[in-house]
Amino acid sequence: MSIKFYSKYRIKNLKLSNRIFLAPMEEVNDIAFRLLCKKAGAGLTYTGLIHPLSQQLFYLQDKPAVQLFCNSKKGIAEFIKKNDKQVSLWDFNLGCPVFKAKKEGYGAYLTDLKTIEEILKTIKSSTKKPVTIKIRKSEIAFKLLELAEKYCDAIAVHPRTKEQGYSGKPDVEFALQIKKKSKIPII
């Protein structure tokens, strides 16, 4: 079953050719795959996970959405300042369920709302580009929605729990509840 989420909103400050996106995923979203997806018509592509402390110098000829993962605001402002011209938007990943995320306390395992708010506030104040977050179904999903509405221009929803990982039946009702409550676009 294919579900399309059309929003009455557009992502602020971002011109998109269409609403077909390469999802924010780790390991598969390298430059070659992003360029292939762009050529096939994707309106927006995401990088894999990038940590702001890596201070990784990278060349992003395709201007993707950059997917940040971290568990503190340390290094974010500097990283964004250094790389802001090369990106379409900044995404804060709060949905990654992999073992490394669990071990290091980021992605779906970062649940401290105060820390999340500090990170989002730092990202938002460091750029004029759109800011998004990626979330999963969780006990704090609706609190994350409130933070997203305060600091973000859109929210990407993966309607599975971190325990489900990438398998199992997605909870479409959860995604629809988020969409109904949201004041910002849903991806």
Q: Are strands 154-158 and 65-68 parallel, antiparallel or unpaired?
A: unpaired
- Over the stretch 53-107, which tens digit does the pLDDT of each residue have? 876 656 677 889 999 999 999 999 999 999 999 899 999 999 999 998 999 999 9
Mean pLDDT of 22-29: 82
Ranges of each domain in the chain: 53-181
Mean pLDDT of 30-50: 90
Helices within 61-109 (DSSP H only): 76-83, 99-104
In the prediction, which pLDDT does 9 show?
Answer: 46
In the prediction, which pLDDT does 174 show?
Answer: 96
Which CATH topology does 53-181 take? TIM Barrel (3.20.20)
- Over the stretch 105-160, which tens digit does the pLDDT of each residue have? 999 999 999 999 999 999 999 999 999 999 999 999 999 999 999 999 999 999 99
In the prediction, which pLDDT does 4 show?
Answer: 41
In the prediction, which pLDDT does 3 show?
Answer: 37
* pLDDT of 1 above 90: no
